[in-house]
Structure 1
Amino acid sequence: MIRVALVDDQPLFRGGIAMILSSQPDIEVVAQESSAMGLAQMVRDAAPDLILMDVRMPGIDGITATGQLIAEFGDAAPKILVLTTFDVDEAAARAIEVGASGFVLKDAQPDFLLASVRAVADGSQVVAASATRQLFERHGARTSGPGPEYDTLTTREREIALRAAAGLSNSEIAEKEFLSEATVKTHISRILSKLDLRDRVQLVVYAYEHGLV
């Protein structure tokens, strides 16, 4: 089961999303909040695997809340999928920079929302990879190149890292690299560990910021 918490200040929208998620046999809505106040305690009490978080809310916005949760819980923090109104949104880019795992439009089709929740929970693919790259082309800044951590990757790991950063799924990488999906997933885990990244969206950010893609 994927344990999901919803954080959005619009009751009708939040209730609709909860109905969509709860209709699935592999997803359980474990908490609903109308604001980002007290989210740390909610995480302790409800132990969600993933938080669907509105990027814009009164009081503490979704960006600030995301940064606070990552700072407090570190690697144990639930994954965060931010909800946004625009597909190219500086707020969504900032949320990803502070630790969100991706974003999805509020007017997305239910099937896409469900696929996004499953993808982020599993970590097997980047959510809206092309849109994420577009965000950082507009709002991110490149550095001169990757640091010494990149040198710790093997040649095969670099190949897989670049394919993942380009938005390819595990199955697509497996086909191109003539590997099993399980092997690709193992490589991705090692790459993220060596580069000290939380997930594949962070890998997209890393690759763009360091001029690798």
Structure 2
Amino acid sequence: EFNSFCITWKDRHNRIYKEPLNPYLTTLKQGLQHIKNKIQKRERLMFGTDELVSFQCLFEEWSPQIESNMRDKNLLLHDIYKHLPHYPMQGSIVPYKRTIDIKRINLPKKGDLDIEFYPPDKKSTFNPFLYECDINKLQIIHDALHFKIMKTDELKKLLHEVIKNNYLCDLIAPKYANNKKKCYNDIKQQIDYDEKNDGCKIILNDKIL
């Protein structure tokens, strides 16, 4: 969704869909045909429909509405929508292959979050890869990741205290009772335990623990 031009539409069940299009290369006619093809494929998949019987274009129901002099279907989408606020300029649009999926299972390390964030009340410096309306979205993502990292650090410190006070043996499963000392030493080595630090360098690994 970042830095992209999307056409939003609803199906007959009021479900919302977004279609990313390149406004500099796509005409209104091509955009409508793209959506028509999507609807046809969806109807065929769900209901076995071979083709659409009717496809009407009601400009007066569009939001934002298109001016009457802009309804030429051969016009580029850029020429139709360029007057709108927060319209993405060509130099600011990031290709999808250059974007980062935020739905990641593995939490990145602190060093991987090399992104510059700005509070909403401050004016940001120009960044050709960051569209202005995305700043608040990125700030929300940053806050969520920061909270998870802080939570992970607290768990590391807690585990460090458990090991430091010789309570790790109490957590070892009964089936390893005969080799508790060996398990104790192996775990400390595998999670990179160091009594001298506060636990921030400990490796939290479910397979080990």
Q: TM-score, normalised by structure 2?
A: 0.22
Give 1 or 2 for the bigger CA radius of gyration: 2
Considering fraction of residues, name the structure with more helix: 1
Q: TM-score, normalised by structure 1?
A: 0.22
Considering fraction of residues, name the structure with more strand: 1
